[in-house]
Amino acid sequence: MPIQKPKGTYDILPEKAFQRNFLEKKVREIFNTFNYSEIRTPAFEKTELFKRGIGEETDIVSKEMYTFKNDEFTLKPEMTAPVIRAYIEYNLGNESPLQKLFYICNMFRRERPQAGRFREFSQFGAESIGSSDPYADAEMIMLADTIIRGFGIKDSVIKINTIGGAEEREIFFKEFKNYLSAYLNELSPDSQRRFVINPLRILDSKNPRDREILNDAPVLYQFLNESTKKNFESILLILNENGIMFETDYMLVRGFDYYTSTTFEFLSDRLGAQNALLGGGRYDMLVQQLGGKPTPAIGFAAGIERILMIMEADNLLPVKNDFPKLFIASIGEESKKFSFKLLETLRKKGVKCETDFLGRSLKSQMKEANRINAEYVVVIGDEELKSNSVMLKKMSDGSEVKVTDTDNLENYLK
């Protein structure tokens, strides 16, 4: 029996790899115009980083991490904690009071695989570390919006909320739990568990009875300080002034404990149950929590597979078209030797070319040139060997030009 890939993973075959490279190139260009620099970190980190960073009671840390070597290391389930770990480790705050970093990499979460949800998946994301200015929040949301719209995705909806700071949430939790305690037995098992360990996440429940109960629950926003609300309104105003369409959603919370105040998501109702394209928010306590100086920060992470799903459905992805410029066909051993040398010379000059490696007949070689969409073909036979000249044939119209010195081929191909 042949061996198959692990559940929840996927392979990226050449056609798809071409599309991913297109996406990544575009993402890099936009990050660059927003003056974000790339950061890369190891595929695994000390488990402690995620426990301290994401929070032990979150779904990710409590049940979805790939942990090994006696729990010492974990494949990264997200990038914010690793980026902040590096920020502190290399004193990046000293280098510049505002660090703007982006990443494109793979994440690992032992989730139940389904459409748009994998166990190894890729994200691109950004972290802006050092500013608490509402303009920094606005920049982050506008950066995400520029990328999503830059891909031609039109129907994504931006939802924004503020979840305040820990103290404000504590006051809310008292009222919230008080209200929920009357319905405790009716809540879903997940929400019952969260009631004890992470009540905020109950707001995220998709269970219909939970949602009914939540309808009349106290709303976190009402418990926030005036300064938090004012700050939130400033952000919304800046977004409005810059033509960004969004909806406020006081129920929007996220799966990580590190968020403070602003949270946002980009949603698409064409993604089914996994409807989030991208999520982010402010995390002003995380740097300190991981052992650095108190430093405000904000970021987002976007799911590449889900973006590709929408782009594919809307025909927004390019078809692989990086075809060879030239196919060199040969007849006989001597001409094969010559062809191989010519191939090497042209490749060194940067010309994408191919020849036969399967001992095929001339007819089959021509078929192959056609199959791989080579733009031109030359045939090397005895005559060509002797004269060092070739007929360069354009495949699209069959037209031919004589090239009297194979050293000149490159010029004809440009």
Chain residues binding ligand AMP by CB under 6 A are 78, 109, 111, 116-118, 121, 123, 254-255, 276-279, 301-303, 305-306
Residue placing its CB nearer to ligand AMP in the complex, 52 or 109? 109
User: Are residues 9 and 120 in contact, defined by beta-carbon separation less than 8 angstroms?
Assistant: yes
Residue placing its CB nearer to ligand AMP in the complex, 263 or 339? 263
Q: Least separation, in Å, of the C-beta of 281 and ligand AMP? A: 9
Q: Least separation, in Å, of the C-beta of 7 and ligand AMP? A: 12
Residue placing its CB nearer to ligand AMP in the complex, 120 or 133? 120
Indicate the residue type of 206: K
Residues 287-320 as b or e (16 or more Cβ within 10 Å = b): bebbebeebbbbbbbbbbbbbbbbbeeeebbeee
The per-type count for the chain, helices as H runs and strands as E runs, is 16, 16
Q: Least separation, in Å, of the C-beta of 53 and ligand AMP? A: 12
Q: Least separation, in Å, of the C-beta of 308 and ligand AMP? A: 11
- C-alpha span between 253 and 279 (Å, rounded): 10
Residue placing its CB nearer to ligand AMP in the complex, 36 or 124? 124
Residue placing its CB nearer to ligand AMP in the complex, 121 or 221? 121
Residue placing its CB nearer to ligand AMP in the complex, 92 or 148? 148
**Residue appearing with tokens 């008080």:** 178
- C-alpha span between 55 and 295 (Å, rounded): 18
Residue placing its CB nearer to ligand AMP in the complex, 81 or 409? 81
Q: Least separation, in Å, of the C-beta of 205 and ligand AMP? A: 16
Instruction: Specify which residues 127 forms β-bridges with.
Output: 101, 299
Instruction: Give alpha helix (H) positions in 255-387.
Output: 286-289, 304-313, 333-348, 362-371, 382-387
DSSP conformation class of 181: H
Q: In what order do the strands lie in the sheet with 390-394?
A: 353-355, 326-330, 376-380, 390-394, 400-403
Structure token pair of residue 236: 């919304």
**Residue appearing with tokens 């920060």:** 297
Q: Least separation, in Å, of the C-beta of 52 and ligand AMP? A: 17
Q: Least separation, in Å, of the C-beta of 265 and ligand AMP? A: 7
Closest CA to 296 of 84, 144, 31: 84
Residue placing its CB nearer to ligand AMP in the complex, 278 or 346? 278
Count CA atoms within 13 Å of residue 46 on its CB side: 7
DSSP conformation class of 408: G
Question: Which residue, judged by CB position, is nearest to ligand AMP in the bound state?
Answer: 303
Q: Least separation, in Å, of the C-beta of 267 and ligand AMP? A: 9
